[in-house]
Amino acid sequence: MGEKISQLRNIKRILIANRGEIAVRAIRSIRELGGESIAIYSEGDKNSIHKDLADFSICVGGANPKESYLNIPSILSAVEVSLADAVYPGYGFLAENPTFVALCERSNITFIGPSSKTLEIVGDKAKAREAAIRANVPVIPGSPPVKDLDDAIKIARKIGYPLLIKASAGGGGRGMRIVNNEKELIKLLPIAEREAEGNFGDPTVYLEKYIKNPKHIEIQILADKYGNVIHLGERECSIQRRHQKIIEEAPSPFLTDDIREEMGKVAVRFAKEVDFVGAGTVEFIVDENKNFYFIEMNGRIQVEHPITEVITGVDIVSWQLRIADGQPLTIKQEDIKQKFHAIEFRINSEDPESFVPNVGKIEKLYIPGGFGVRVDTHIYQGYVIPAYYDSLLAKLIVFGKDREEAIRRGRRALKELVIEGVKTLKDFHLKLLEDEEFLNGSYTTNLVDKKYLKET
Ligand code: ADP
Ligand code: ADP
Ligand code: MG
């Protein structure tokens, strides 16, 4: 019934400015809504499945991301020749790049995400922090952008050590340095600024008190173009190595209903402060007394969005498309219920003890299934992993009626998973599912680095 009629009114042909599993994820929602998908790919991604799954595909340049997935002129040309009317950014690459978004706006191309004005703020951690302060959202004791070393020393004396030097433009766990005393600050500040300039093209850094043993808990936001903003509850992402998430779960075993509700309200308030439109996530650090502090907003889809989708029944990527199409949110805050418990395991091509990435050919692959199991991936048997991109091969998502069932299902599904030819995190995840702190829910962001990381 009605399968030929598109559910999209204003955007019809959508170019996906990304690769890997998130490109596949986007193609699925675009097709279900009746839109057309255009994949872009690099010379290093000629064997990538996203290119075959899309309705059309265009090569945009060399394997190095700078020549392809970050190559703005080449991507805009692809939009033009393919007659696409919208761009889906995914995560990473150009997803939070206000320059790219402003160019789309000027050319009348719908960017499926917030405005360039919003991204000028949320894509910059120091500016986002200032917006949080304006909106009366609790932040970690810290500083505005550091002017010079004297300024930094003065502020650091006020905040107290240990603290973090953070790159305003940082992301993906990169651009952060722990500083334990003034001597280290003097030594590390210029290095941090140089690194920020080299890695993110912006030397701006700021200081933030380093919270010991915190939890990372974030709130998923959906906002339409008419000022309706709701949240879909939280995800706990405290299982991290080197400040990057590897297991996420929802709901968080640590939150009480009161704090959950309070965090949701605060996140919505922040989103309204920055005129947020689309799907985004407000990230918080939560200390052992359950005080929560804003750290940043990701103005884009997040890797771990499926755990929220499976416990609430809300298709977040479809809503990104509908919102960009100009449709109003039809879900109300009171409709959102966390009906199940879900866990996501990032299956990265990394050594399960050192977390060092490796590449190779997928010689054998068996993907688990059954009740309560979802796998989002772009890999297939025979696929050769290119060396240029991040190590995420697949996301294994399990859900059950409660946390215990989700954990049991996680063990079962991980044991079924077969990936031969490259080392993956599978065995690490199985170990973690026997860890006492994970099982009782008390784990914090330091667990993996403290207990499981073997330096090479
Ligand atoms: P990114 O943009 O790289 O995601 P975030 O600011 O979100 O940067 O921080 C990533 C991770 O680093 C957090 O999840 C947390 O583990 C750690 N972190 C960030 N800020 C602090 C802080 N002030 N104190 C302790 N840990 C922090
Ligand atoms: P999430 O917040 O969705 O969990 P991650 O921090 O794991 O996302 O990052 C997802 C991907 O996006 C990674 O490949 C990461 O390197 C990339 N990424 C995230 N933020 C940035 C940024 N500011 N600059 C460059 N790459 C980024
Ligand atoms: Mg973050």
pLDDT above 90 for 326: yes
Q: What is the mean pLDDT of residues 78-85?
A: 98
Instruction: Kindly give the number of the ligand 1 atom that is closest to the alpha carbon of 172.
Output: 3
| CA atoms of 275 and 298, how far apart (whole Å) | 14
- The answer, yes or no, to whether residue 375 has pLDDT greater than 60, is yes
Average pLDDT over every residue of 431-449: 97
Same domain, 319 and 447: yes
- Report the percent of the chain where pLDDT is more than 90: 97
| Number of Cβ within a 10 Å radius of residue 298 | 21
The CA distance from 15 to 90, in Å, is 11
pLDDT of amino acid 60: 98
* Average of per-residue pLDDT values in the chain: 97
In this structure, which residue's CA is closest to atom 17 in ligand 1? 243
- Residues 363-374 have pLDDT tens digits of 999 999 999 999
Of 176, 209, 242, which one is at a domain's C-terminal end? 209
- 2 located within any domain: no
Ligand 1 neighbours, Cβ below 6 Å, are 140, 164, 170-173, 208-211, 214, 216, 240, 243, 283, 285, 295-296, 445
Alpha carbons 275 and 115: distance in angstroms, whole number: 9
Residues 191 and 242 in one domain: no
Per DSSP, 262 falls in state H
Pocket lining: 233 vs ligand 2, CB cutoff 6 Å:
no
Are 113 and 101 in contact, with CB atoms under 8 Å apart?
yes
Is residue 104 assigned to a domain?
no
Residue 1 is predicted with a pLDDT of 53
Pairing, β 418-420 against β 86-88: unpaired
| Closest Cα to atom 7 of ligand 2 | 172
- CB–CB of 249/406 below 8 Å? yes
Quick check: 414 and 426 in contact, CB under 8 A? yes
Q: How far is the CA of 303 from the centre of ligand 3 (A)?
A: 11
pLDDT class for 456, splitting at 50, 70, 90?
low
| Boundary (domain end) residue, out of 39, 72, 95 | 95
**Is 311 within 8 Å of 399 (Cβ atoms)?**
yes
**CATH number for the domain including 32?**
3.40.50.20
Which of 180, 239, 243, 291 best tests ligand 1's pocket when mutated (most atoms within 8 Å of CB)?
A: 243
Q: Are residues 152 and 90 located together in one domain of the fold?
A: no
Tell me which residue of 221, 396, 456, 437 sits closest to 323, measured CA to CA.
221
pLDDT of residue 454: 80
Please give the model's pTM, rounded to 2 decimal places.
Answer: 0.97
CA–centroid distance, residue 287 to ligand 3 (Å): 16
Nearest-CA residue for ligand 2 atom 4 is 303
Indicate whether 426 and 358 sit together in one domain: yes
Instruction: Indicate if the pLDDT at residue 74 is higher than 80.
Output: yes
**Which of 176, 194, 209 corresponds to the end of one domain?**
209
| Structural domains of the chain, count | 3
Q: Do 299 and 90 touch, CB atoms closer than 8 A?
A: no
**Residues 224, 203 share a domain:** no
Structural domain includes residue 8: no
Nearest to 239 by CA among 91, 442, 454: 442
Q: Would the pLDDT of 148 be above 70?
A: yes
Whether 54 and 31 map to the same domain: the answer is yes
**Which DSSP category does 253 fall into?**
T
Question: How many CB atoms are closer than 10 A to CB 160?
Answer: 10
Whether residues 70 and 202 share a domain: the answer is: no
Does residue 110 form part of some domain?
A: no
The residues annotated as belonging to the active site are 300
One domain, residues 79 and 166: no
In the reported structure, the alpha carbon of residue 298 is separated from the centroid of ligand 2 by a whole-number distance in angstroms of 9
Q: Stretch 423-435: mean pLDDT, rounded?
A: 98
283 CB less than 6 Å from ligand 2? no
Q: What digits encode the pLDDT tens for the residues 101-117?
A: 999 999 999 999 999 99
Whether residue 62 is found in the same domain as residue 193: no
The predicted pLDDT at position 5 comes to 82
Q: Looking at the structure, do residues 219 and 170 belong to the same domain, yes or no? A: no
**2-11, 19-28, 226-235, 422-431 — which is least confidently predicted?**
2-11
> What is the residue-wise DSSP string for 91-154?
SSTTTT-HHHHHHHHHTTPEESSS-HHHHHHHTSHHHHHHHHHHTT--B-SB-SS--SHHHHHH
Which whole number is the average pLDDT over 20-35? 98
Sorting pLDDT into bands at 50, 70 and 90, what band is 384? very high
Domain annotation covers residue 187:
yes
Ligand nearest to the CA of 206: 1
- What's 198's domain CATH number? 3.30.1490.20
Ligand nearest the Cα of residue 445 is 1
Distance (Å, whole) CA 206 – CA 298: 18
Determine, yes or no, domain membership for 361: yes
| Domain harbouring 430, CATH code | 3.30.470.20
Supply the range of the domain harboring residue 372. Answer: 215-451
333 & 371 share domain: yes
pLDDT tens string 345-364: 999 999 999 999 999 999 99
Residues 158 and 236 in one domain: no
* DSSP-assigned letter for residue 213: S
Where residue 3 falls among pLDDT bands split at 50, 70, 90?
low
- What is the Cα–Cα distance from 250 to 253, expressed in whole angstroms? 8
The pLDDT value given to residue 312: 98
State the DSSP H helix or E strand holding residue 222, giving kind and residue range, or none if neither.
Answer: strand 215-223
Cross-strand pairs, 193:
none
